[in-house]
Homo-oligomer: A and B are copies of this chain.
């Protein structure tokens, strides 16, 4: 599962999570490796799935999605096929950035990015009100995106 990562790998991962555009020679300087070694390691990390993918992170405000919303959903039944169908619906909705199936007071936590409240209202109709398996949901409107990322801690210090 957790591949063995040495200090060099961890350093690389830390850098490249922050800025994937750093050229391999610069990564080499920072991590005390030759460019070729950096190249090999990055390739291996990608092959092993440690690096899942590279992505451009776009500013929601700049593309007309200034509103971030957290929704929590409780379902009526946890029957597998009903859950799967909900998961698929959530996955496919472009406004849903993230969906977690959770244990506790709620069943799903969703992070959405939308144009405005009207669009969110529309989405609640499509996703929640028109779905018989949604028992109730709660909406938390984000006033400030204090920290947003997918960075995973890689503990440079062994």
- A residues whose Cβ falls under 8 Å from a Cβ of B: 1-3, 5, 13, 16-21, 48-66, 68, 70, 87, 90-91, 94-106, 108-109, 111, 113, 138-154
Q: Tell whether A62 pairs with B16 under 8 Å between CB atoms, given A70-B109, A143-B103, A150-B150.
A: no
In the complex, which of the residues B65, B98, B146, B152 contacts A153, with contact meaning CB atoms closer than 8 Å? B65
CB distance A105 to B140 under 8 Å?
yes
Contacts of A2 in B (CB 8 A): 61-64, 66
Q: How many copies does the complex hold?
A: 2
Instruction: Give, as a whole number of angstroms, the nearest-CB distance from A152 to chain B.
Output: 5
Contacts of A90 in B (CB 8 A): 146-147
